[in-house]
Every structure is written in C-alpha cells, then in structure tokens.
A = this chain, B = another copy of it.
Amino acid sequence: MDLNELRRIPLLRALRDEQLEILQGNAQIRDYKKNKRIFEPGCKDNFIMIVLEGKVRIYLAYPDGKEFTIAFLEPGDIYSSHSKTFAEAREAAQILAISAKAFHLFMLNNPTILIGMVKALGDSLGNTLRIIENLAFLDIDKRLARFLLDAAKEKGVIKEEGTFINLGLSVEDIALAVGSSRQTASMLLNRWERDGVIKRNRKTVFLLDEPRLQELGERTE
C-alpha cells in the first residue's frame, strides 16, 4: 500500500511521511470474504486492526455456540486482536493489520496516535457500558426498541413517513446485537410492523411511530 492510502485513515492523518513509512514497514493489508474469521481470543497473531472497507463484527462466543455481538466496525474503526473477543468479516472486508509491537513503540513517540487510542478506547467503553445497562436492566423487547432508537440517533434520516435507517443489518445480525435468538427478534419486528410502529425492507427500517418505540424501550415495573 502506498503512503496516500495510509494517509486516508483518520487516526494516521497527522503523521509525517517518515512516520508513515515506519508504519508501512510493519503493516499488511488483508482481505476477508464474508463470514471469514479475522481473529479469535488467544490467537498468536497480535496486531492492531484498522478497518479499510466493509463491515467487521466483534463478538463474544461461548463453547456451546451461543454468540453475543459487541460492535459492528466500519471503515476507520480500530481494534486490537489481543482481546477476549472474536472478529469476523460480516461483509467482505479489507483491513490494515499493524504489528502490535511496532504499534506500541510507535505510539510512544506519537502523542496524536495515543490520543486517538484513548478516544477509541473511551468510545468502546461507553458502548460496552450501554450493552451492560441493556442486559442488566431490560428484557429483549426493550433492548430491541432501544437498539432501533440508538441506530436512529446515530444514522437516521428524517423523512416524511418517519425516520429512515439504513441499518445494513439482517434480522440475524440484529438478534446477535441484542442477545436474542433470530426467532424472537423476527417475531418482535413482525409484531411492530403489523402494529404500524416500524416498516422493514431488507436491511433498512423506517421508524413510523418513534414515540411508541420510545415507550416500548422504557422499563416498567
């Protein structure tokens, strides 16, 4: 990869050419087909992953096969393979893998990168706290309502009919993200569609009645 490609990555934007060259020598572009595993807990290959293209799912998995999604990463997002999580290409994905050892040495000399890492870690921490809040306090229906409302806040577009969200996620993805089975998520989404709360279409969703969804997302005793 050439320096211009590296320079397109937000985290690396502030670096000088000679710094980018050092990184370049310790980085590798990797392509993954859809559903291919990128790393797993305890894997020997210790690297910092920056997503260049596609969508990467970060998740926890249990020996019995149950999975729980922590995040969907998009281009520009950064994550470490040294984690108790798994990563897989949710869509065909291209990543930049930087040797963790080189990256750590590099961080020491580049406060801008370090600040980027502090920000990325802080964001991840906020995300995991939100997940814990949902798991500890809410039932599946409330989690699902919250999930849609959070997505609307993050990338919703207000249209005449309601809030349009290009989720880019299948029902299975949504189920994994709220910690339910595909059947339960599907049943709830169908019910809400029948009740005129949402309207679905492949991987997009319209929130037709956001106040109602807000009610559905609230905890009641």
Q: Report the interface size class on chain A.
A: 35 or more
Q: Is A153 an interface residue (CB 8 A)?
A: no
Shortest distance from the beta carbon of A178 to any chain B beta carbon, whole Å? 10
Shortest distance from the beta carbon of A137 to any chain B beta carbon, whole Å? 5
Q: How many copies does the complex hold?
A: 2
Of all chain B residues, which has the CB nearest A80?
Answer: B122
Shortest distance from the beta carbon of A102 to any chain B beta carbon, whole Å? 15
Give chain A interface residues in 56-114, CB to chain B under 8 Å: 60, 62-64, 66, 68, 70, 80, 83-85, 107-109, 111, 114
Shortest distance from the beta carbon of A167 to any chain B beta carbon, whole Å? 21
Residue interface mask A111-155, B partner, CB < 8 A = 1:
100110110011011101111110111000000000000000000
In the assembled complex, the Cα of A179 lies from the Cα of B138 at a distance in Å of 12
CB-CB < 8 A to A136: which residues of B?
A: 60, 66, 68, 135, 179
Shortest distance from the beta carbon of A207 to any chain B beta carbon, whole Å? 23
Of all chain B residues, which has the CB nearest A112?
Answer: B108
Task: Provide the main secondary structure of the chain A interface.
Answer: helix
B179 touches A219 (CB 8 A): no
In the assembled complex, the Cα of A115 lies from the Cα of B125 at a distance in Å of 17
CB-CB < 8 A to A84: which residues of B?
A: 126, 129-130, 133
Q: Is A221 an interface residue (CB 8 A)?
A: yes
A83 touches B129 (CB 8 A): yes
27 pairs from A and B in contact (CB 8 Å cutoff): A60-B129, A62-B133, A62-B137, A62-B219, A64-B221, A66-B136, A68-B133, A68-B136, A68-B137, A70-B129, A83-B126, A84-B133, A107-B118, A111-B114, A114-B114, A117-B118, A118-B121, A121-B121, A121-B122, A125-B125, A125-B128, A128-B128, A128-B131, A128-B132, A132-B132, A132-B135, A136-B179
Could you tell me which A residues sit within 8 Å of B by CB distance? 60, 62-64, 66, 68, 70, 80, 83-85, 107-109, 111, 114-115, 117-118, 121-122, 124-126, 128-133, 135-137, 179, 219, 221
